[in-house]
Structure 1
Amino acid sequence: MKIAVLKEAADGERRVAATPETVRKFIALGAQVAVERGAGDAAACPDAAYAAAGARVAERSAVVADAQIVLGVQGPEPAALQGAAPGAWIVAALDPFGHRDRVDAYAAAGVEALAMELMPRITRAQAMDILSSQSNLSGYKAVLDAAAEYDRALPMMMTAAGTISAARVFVMGVGVAGLQAIATARRLGAQVSATDVRAATREQIQSLGAKPIFVDAVEGIAGEGSGGYAGEMSDAYKAAQAELVSAHIAKQDIVITTALIPGRPAPRLISDVQIATMRAGSVIVDLAVEQGGNVEGAVAGQVVDRHGVRLVGHRNVPSRLAADASALFARNLYNFLSTFWDKDAGRPVLDAEIGDAIRLTQGGRVVHPRLLS
């Protein structure tokens, strides 16, 4: 079994899909590992470290040749897979809804594409969940990015010259990224509040020492989506939430938005009118900007000024912490493959629960139900 690790080709992508640590573990399973030259340079994983771990470091053509599993962070272009073994697995974050044409090309090439971001959120798959590991870092980095743009201190400071009040931070969307943002802002001394459409997150917010901001008087909330994700809200809830948020957001110094609905554009949480109510110098970080954005006026890849408020729209936030993001991502991939490793077959063999959830292509066809409907 040959595993190939590719150097990422996407613009601005600094992560790598395997580290020297996971290379050693794959070799211990009985696999051969080949790593494209320079694949880990931006993530503090030099070629020498891969070689010391037992990998063969070479140019892409030699790395891909006869590979039965190809690991990536983002999905490689089909042309990069020439020479791979027939039916080779592509294991990466493949963005099937945003790159459907690429999925079709994988099918035409006869490879089996496994989209790791579709991993079901069940107990036994937690260690394989790339979305959770990367979102955790995104929530942390969002607070640091906000602090870098905010021209004031976050904690309360008492000095002989007077007292500086603690910054008020509001987190919208309390998934993995939101919870980490709350925890990080609290550690930095900010006064933190948070909201979510899922009522079950109230206790999580309180457990981190933040104030929950919820609409309590409206029935028909449809926010408890499947798999731990938020779903759509009722119209009555949307109206009540907009009124509550508008009153709250005007008093905030920093707002961090994290709301995503898988397979659909990000919900709009903050309007231009609401931005205009914030004081000059305030900051909004939109972690959903690449999926359409939670914030009106946010621009992917830019920090823009709107009514004196800085809207931060960095792309690929986990990649801004490339070393740690790579370490976690690589462990997710190793945990996935090792869990299903069949010693007799010398390769991983997926079961239906996981395989059907993440498999996009097989036998020259697109097979995932959400891509066939």
Structure 2
Amino acid sequence: MTLRLVVPKETWTGERRVALDPSVAERFQRLGAEVQIERGAGCGSHFGDAQYEKGAKLVDDIVAALAAADVTVRVQPPSLEEVEQLRDGSVLIGFLAPHRNAEVIRRLRDKKITSFAFELLPRISRAQSMDALSSQAAIAGYKVALMAASLASFFFPMLTTAAGTIRPAKVVVVGAGVAGLQAIATCKRLGAMVEAYDIRAAAKEQVESLGAKLIDTGVDASGQGGYARELTKDELARQAEVLARHIAAASAVITTAAIPGRPAPKIVTKAMVEAMKPGAVIVDLAAESGGNCELTQPGQTIEHNDVIIHGPLNVPSMIPVHASETYAKNVFNFLSPFVKNGELALDWNDEVIAKSCLTHDGQIRHEPTRKLVG
């Protein structure tokens, strides 16, 4: 039986990405899959319906299409209503936010849907081309650097003018993961002096390779899977003391530190903000999970003590063309090895499949989520 792969229009407010761009839809078709995409699904990403006609069938009745789909591919997690539209026993792929969608996960389990969450993808070399978290984080890191440059009251580069020389702005990037490294690289391209802070010792080489300087606080909190662990109270106090001095001298601070499935760590305190110079800016990429700054208001731009604090949400969606293209390639690289002669044959002995699976055959396969759902 031919694999029927369906892409619905994203329904989250402000979401402009689409799960498959036209070129990847065509690649799935060449594997023998029948690709169906809801009419207008790509418009937010500037992919018109006509661009999909070569590789996909455009559908008006998405409810009927989902009821017959073998695989549904999304960007954002489905609502409970959208889960009900999925065929029992079918496959769902996308960001599923298992740590905050207990009711949705419970219903996926009860409908015996096999769901794969990109948040759970194992951090192994073979999975790098499938890593949607990283691809979208890189886009977000680029965009927040531009936001910081736009909101700041200072030039980023050094300028020599008839009136004299303007020194380059000093930018502090908190968190040197994928997003942080992209923010560092972009700020350097814009001509700023960049310092970075990360509690993982392994970040030093990566930060310096981009021409930035790592702020050494004497704390190393490297955790499993390349993520950082939470700091102890003593470690928090030590890093805060050192970091405060660097933030006080910065024209812009970009924060990107996040712990998957948990609220963002509070790194920039109110006292640090009040010690910053007038006209400085903080762009908090961790706003969606509560923010790295104590004063961040998710989705808002505020001023405190003459410092601008910006808490953007869903930043990758602000660059929808490339965000959709890279996400679609992640989906293809994840799914295509298991499409044989137009049919889906999942290999449960494969580490990628086994570890990224959230629900399957009436069970929650991810233990932390299983404990959360109960």
State the TM-score, normalizing by the size of structure 2.
0.95
- Deviation at 1:84? 4.0
- Deviation at 1:58? 2.8
- The whole-number CA distance in structure 2 between the counterparts of 1:316 and 1:252 is 25
Are 1:287 and 2:285 an aligned pair? yes
Query: Which residue number in structure 1 is paired with residue 294 of structure 2?
Result: 296
- The whole-number CA distance in structure 1 between the counterparts of 2:256 and 2:98 is 21
Q: How much identity, in percent, do the aligned residues show?
A: 42
Pick which of 181-190 and 202-211 moved more: 202-211
- Deviation at 1:248? 1.0
SS in 2 for 1:39: coil
- Deviation at 1:348? 3.9
Matches within 5 A, 1:53-68: 53-68=55-70
The one of 318, 330, 336 aligned to 1:338: 336
- 1:87-146, Cα deviation, whole Å (9 max, x unpaired): 111101000101111111211223122111211110000000011000000110001111
Query: Which residue number in structure 1 is paired with residue 160 of structure 2?
Result: 158
The one of 237, 240, 252 aligned to 1:239: 237
- The whole-number CA distance in structure 1 between the counterparts of 2:185 and 2:274 is 27
1:47 and 1:57 in contact (8 A); partners too = no
The one of 74, 83, 86 aligned to 1:72: 74
- The whole-number CA distance in structure 2 between the counterparts of 1:75 and 1:372 is 17
2:281 and 2:308 in contact (8 A); partners too = yes
The one of 4, 9, 12 aligned to 2:14: 12
1:171 and 1:181 in contact (8 A); partners too = yes
Are 1:270 and 2:264 an aligned pair? no
- Deviation at 1:61? 2.0
- Deviation at 1:165? 1.2
The code of the aligned residue for 1:349 comes to L
- The whole-number CA distance in structure 1 between the counterparts of 2:358 and 2:56 is 31
Query: Which residue number in structure 1 is paired with residue 195 of structure 2?
Result: 193
The one of 115, 118, 121 aligned to 1:116: 118
Query: Which residue number in structure 2 is paired with residue 305 of structure 1?
Result: 303
Alpha carbon RMSD of aligned pairs, Å? 1.5
State the TM-score, normalizing by the size of structure 1.
0.95
SS in 2 for 1:299: coil
1:215 and 1:237 in contact (8 A); partners too = no
The code of the aligned residue for 1:185 comes to C
- Deviation at 1:83? 5.4
SS in 1 for 2:11: coil
1:138 and 1:317 in contact (8 A); partners too = yes
- 1:205-241, Cα deviation, whole Å (9 max, x unpaired): 111111110123x6xx4x1111111112243322211
**Structure 1 stretches of 5 or more lacking a match?**
none
Query: Which residue number in structure 2 is paired with residue 102 of structure 1?
Result: 104
**Structure 2 stretches of 5 or more lacking a match?**
none
